[in-house]
Structure 1
Amino acid sequence: MKIALLGYGKMGQTIERIALERGHEIVLKKDESNTYDGISNADVAIDFSIPAVAVENISSGFYANVPVVSGTTGWLDRYDEMVALCQEKNGAFISSSNFSLGVNLFFGLNEYLAKMMSKFDSYKVEMEEIHHTQKLDAPSGTAISLAKGVIENSDYKSWTLDEAKENQIHIEAIRTENVPGTHTVTYNSTVDTIEIKHTAHNRDGFALGAVIAAEWIVGKHGVFTMKDVLNLK
C-alpha cells in the first residue's frame, strides 16, 4: 500500500515507522516545506497535522481521488464541509479523535457505563485529560468524544472547561511534559467514586490504529468511523 503522510511531525514519523514495518511504502511526506506533488500516486492519505492545515490536507486527498484517514483534532467545526466534499467526490473518509485500538474500546466502555449510571442521579460525572505541552487544542478531541458518549446516553446536555452548571460535564485539561495522553471519567457521589481510565504509554498505539484504518479503507467509498474499522457497532 502506498501512503501519503499529510503532516510529518512526531506522529507522522511514528506512522511512517509502523507502516514500513507492515510492508507499506511512503510516497509523500507533506510538511510546511513542500507541496502535495505525488499525492495522486498514493492509495491512501493519513493526516496527522495541525488544525490550521487539516482542512486543506483532507481536501487535497479528495480532489486527488485518494481515501483520507485523519487524526487531527481542533478543526471539527468544518467536519460537515469535509463530509460533503467527500460525498461530492465519491471519496472515502475516516476522521477520529483517537485511532488507538485501546481508546476505541474505552469509548465503548464509557458509553456502556454512562447508560448504566444514568439511572442513578446521586452520581455526578466529570472528566480529566492530560497531554504533552505541544498539544494545541484543549480539551482534547478524545475528551470531547468521551463527553459526547456520556451526553448521548444520559441526561447531560453539554461539556465545559469552566465550573459545571446543571446537566454539564466539567472537563479538566492539563498540559505537562512527555505525556502521550491520559483520560479519566469519574462518577462521584457522597459515599463512593467509580472511575474508568485510559493511559497511553507512547504514540505507537495511535499510529498503529491509523495504519490499520488506512489498510481497511482502501477500495471503499463513504464516510466511516473506527467502529466500522473494528466492527464494534
Structure 2
Amino acid sequence: MNIALLGYGKMGKIIERIAINRGHSISFKADSKTKHFDFSNTDVAIDFSLPSTAVYNITQAINANVPVISGTTGWLADYDKITEHCNSNNGAFLYASNFSLGVNIFFEVNRILGSLIANYPDYNTHIEEIHHTQKLDAPSGTAITLAEGIINESDYKNWTMEQPKANEIKITAKRIENVPGTHSINYNSDVDSIEIKHTAHNRSGFALGAVIAAEWIKNKKGVFSMKDVLNINA
C-alpha cells in the first residue's frame, strides 16, 4: 500500500518507519509549507500535522478521492464541515483523538465505568492528562474524548479546565518534558476513590494504530472511528 504522510514531524517519522516495516511504501511526505499534493500514486493518506493545516490537508485528500485518516487535534470546530464534505464527495475519512490500540480499549473501559458510577452522585469526577512540553493544545484530544464518554453516560453536561460547576468534569492538563501521554480518571467520594489510568511509554503505539487504521480504511467509503477499526460496539 502506498501511503502519503501529511505532516512529517516526530509522529510522521515514526509512522514512516512502522509502515515500511509492515511492507508499505511512502508515496510522498508533506510538511506545513506544502501546498501542492500529488496523490497520483497514493492509496491512503495519514494526517499528523498542525491544527492550522489539518483541514486543508484532509480536504485535499478527499478531493483527490484518497481515503484519509487524521490524528491531528485542535481543529475539531471544523469536524462537521469535513464529514459533510467527505460524505458529499463519497470519500473516506477517519478521525481519532488517539490511535493507540490500548487507549481505544481504555475509552471503552472509561465509558462503562462512567455509566456505572452515574448511579452514585457522591463521586466527583476529575480527569488529568500529562504530555510533553511540545504539545500545542490543552487539554489533549484524548482527555476531551474521555470526558465526552463520561458525559454521554451521566448527568454531566460539560468539561472545564476552571473550577467546575456541579454538572461539569474538571480536566487538569500538565506539560512535562519527554512524557508521551498519561491519562487518568479519578472518582472521589468521602469514603473511597476509584482510578483508571493509561500510560504511553513511547509514540510507537500511536503510530502503529494509525497504520492499522490506514490498512483498514483502504477501499472503504464513509466516515469512521477507531471503534469501527477495532470492531468495538458500544
- Alignment identity in percent? 63
- Residue 117 of structure 1 corresponds to 117
Residue 147 of structure 2 aligns to a residue in which SS?
Answer: helix
Indicate conservation of the 8 Å contact 1:40/1:65, yes or no: no
- Residue 212 of structure 2 corresponds to 212
* Aligned ranges 1:37-116 → 2 under 5 Å: 37-116=37-116
Amino acid aligned to 1:63 = N
Structure 1 residue 40, shift from structure 2 partner: 3.0
Q: When the two structures are superposed, what TM-score results if normalisation uses the length of structure 1? A: 0.98
Residue 52 of structure 2 aligns to a residue in which SS?
Answer: helix
Tell me, in whole angstroms, the C-alpha distance in 2 between the residues paired with 1:88 and 1:119.
Answer: 41
Residue 39 of structure 1 aligns to a residue in which SS?
Answer: coil
Tell me, in whole angstroms, the C-alpha distance in 1 between the residues paired with 2:162 and 2:41.
Answer: 46
Tell me, in whole angstroms, the C-alpha distance in 1 between the residues paired with 2:98 and 2:128.
Answer: 16
- Residue 178 of structure 2 corresponds to 178
Tell me, in whole angstroms, the C-alpha distance in 1 between the residues paired with 2:37 and 2:160.
Answer: 41
- Over residues 35-89 of structure 1, what are the superposed CA-to-partner deviations in whole Å (9 max), with x where a residue is unaligned? 4332232100000001000000000100111000000000000000000110111
- Residue 203 of structure 1 corresponds to 203
* Aligned ranges 1:12-31 → 2 under 5 Å: 12-31=12-31
Indicate conservation of the 8 Å contact 2:32/2:50, yes or no: no
Could you list the runs of 5+ residues in structure 2 that have no partner in the other structure? Answer: none
Structure 1 residue 33, shift from structure 2 partner: 4.4
Tell me, in whole angstroms, the C-alpha distance in 2 between the residues paired with 1:37 and 1:76.
Answer: 22
Residue 213 of structure 2 aligns to a residue in which SS?
Answer: helix
Tell me, in whole angstroms, the C-alpha distance in 1 between the residues paired with 2:134 and 2:177.
Answer: 8
- For this pair of structures, how many residues does the alignment match? 233
Structure 1 residue 214, shift from structure 2 partner: 0.3
Amino acid aligned to 1:104 = N
- Over residues 170-213 of structure 1, what are the superposed CA-to-partner deviations in whole Å (9 max), with x where a residue is unaligned? 00000110000000000000111100000000000000000000
Tell me, in whole angstroms, the C-alpha distance in 1 between the residues paired with 2:83 and 2:76.
Answer: 11
Instruction: Say whether 1:132 aligns with 2:104.
Output: no
Indicate conservation of the 8 Å contact 1:40/1:66, yes or no: no
Indicate conservation of the 8 Å contact 2:47/2:54, yes or no: yes
Tell me, in whole angstroms, the C-alpha distance in 1 between the residues paired with 2:209 and 2:102.
Answer: 9
Structure 1 residue 32, shift from structure 2 partner: 3.1
Q: When the two structures are superposed, what TM-score results if normalisation uses the length of structure 2? A: 0.98
Structure 1 residue 8, shift from structure 2 partner: 0.1
Tell me, in whole angstroms, the C-alpha distance in 2 between the residues paired with 1:66 and 1:170.
Answer: 39
Amino acid aligned to 2:10 = K
Amino acid aligned to 1:177 = E
- Residue 194 of structure 2 corresponds to 194
Indicate conservation of the 8 Å contact 1:180/1:202, yes or no: yes
Tell me, in whole angstroms, the C-alpha distance in 2 between the residues paired with 1:28 and 1:150.
Answer: 39
Residue 81 of structure 1 aligns to a residue in which SS?
Answer: helix
Tell me, in whole angstroms, the C-alpha distance in 2 between the residues paired with 1:40 and 1:211.
Answer: 20
* Aligned ranges 1:145-184 → 2 under 5 Å: 145-184=145-184
Indicate conservation of the 8 Å contact 2:32/2:53, yes or no: no
